[in-house]
Amino acid sequence: MAGKNLPRKRSLFSQVFAGILVNSVYEMQNYPVVLLNTVVSPLSILLVIVFVSRGSLFGVGIEGGFIMAMFSAGMGLSSDLSHLKNDFKLQDMIVSSPTGWFIYMIGLSLSEIVYAIPALIVLTILASFGLSFTPVEVLEFVAVLLLIFIASISIGYTLSTFSSDIVQSFAFTRLISTVFSTIPPVYYPITYIPLPFRYLAYLSPTTYAAELVQGIGGYLSLSLTTVIIDWTVLIAVTIALFVLAKTKARWREV
């Protein structure tokens, strides 16, 4: 049985690797300028927050930069998939091949991580100066980022299957990225928002992610009940968005 499964595993790996090559490696080699966008976006807001707060929100800003980098990377899937689907008709070919939607999405999602590597490296270097985590807290931090990434790629994938033009996808990507990673209290504590407007922030899943990482970093004092609620909401929203991508995305209706 193990011998029979080996060719299948190699085939899955090659399909995923092909997605990474097509959507990131080749483009990064031919157009290195695309790497600047992934670095500039999270760091630009971080610099503004640090200057305005006179350095007091440096650590919070770094955590927010990680959240924005992962969320924006996932949302970037929308425009990339739209481009491949509408301009190169790649999705038509994939649908008629043995490759399923899940493997297709995994391959291209990992390519978005490749895009985000420069920003993640810079943020990690900054984090070594502004953050201090225990090994367990590092795992919690990574888990939050992973959930945010899965939620955003689910949104990006679903939107891409409905999009008829890359310009439309760019508009949705920028709008959603702004609404979910810039307006909510990602780069600053939610306590900075006066009541009752603070409750509006909880409409965004990134607010729960930000609360968790800010609590991990010691910038917010969270009760056990709040921590449980934040994890529950973040996990539930991620699962709901993934199920939505699986059931409502137009995989074969292209």
pLDDT value at 3 more than 50: no
Specify which of 135-144, 174-183, 184-193 reaches the highest per-range mean pLDDT. Answer: 135-144
The answer to which of 9-23, 44-58, 206-220, 226-240 has the lowest mean pLDDT is: 9-23
pLDDT value at 212 more than 70: yes
**Pairwise CA distance, residues 105 & 38, whole Å:** 20
Give me the percent of the chain exceeding a pLDDT of 70: 72
Give me the percent of the chain exceeding a pLDDT of 90: 25
pLDDT band at 115 (very low <50, low <70, confident <90, very high): confident
**Pairwise CA distance, residues 177 & 212, whole Å:** 20
For residue range 85-99, what is the model confidence (pLDDT) as tens digits?
665 566 666 656 666
Q: Contact 161/108 with Cβ under 8 angstroms?
A: no
Specify which of 25-34, 92-101, 165-174, 224-233 reaches the highest per-range mean pLDDT. Answer: 224-233
E strand intervals along 66-121: none
pTM for this predicted structure:
0.81
Q: Which residue has the higher pLDDT, 113 or 204?
A: 204
**Pairwise CA distance, residues 41 & 109, whole Å:** 19
The whole-number pLDDT of residue 254 equals 41
The whole-number pLDDT of residue 223 equals 92
Averaged pLDDT of the chain: 79
**Pairwise CA distance, residues 60 & 63, whole Å:** 5
Q: Contact 165/187 with Cβ under 8 angstroms?
A: no
Q: Contact 208/202 with Cβ under 8 angstroms?
A: yes
Rounded average pLDDT over 226-237: 96
Q: Which residue has the higher pLDDT, 156 or 107?
A: 156
Residue 101 Cα to chain centre, angstroms: 19
**Pairwise CA distance, residues 52 & 32, whole Å:** 31
pLDDT value at 101 more than 80: no
Closest alpha carbon to 219 in 190, 181, 183: 190
The whole-number pLDDT of residue 238 equals 95
Q: Contact 81/157 with Cβ under 8 angstroms?
A: yes
For residue range 18-69, what is the model confidence (pLDDT) as tens digits?
555 555 555 656 556 666 666 676 777 788 888 888 888 889 999 999 998 8
**Token pair for 15:** 């399909």
**Pairwise CA distance, residues 15 & 41, whole Å:** 30
The answer to which of 16-30, 148-162, 227-241 has the lowest mean pLDDT is: 16-30
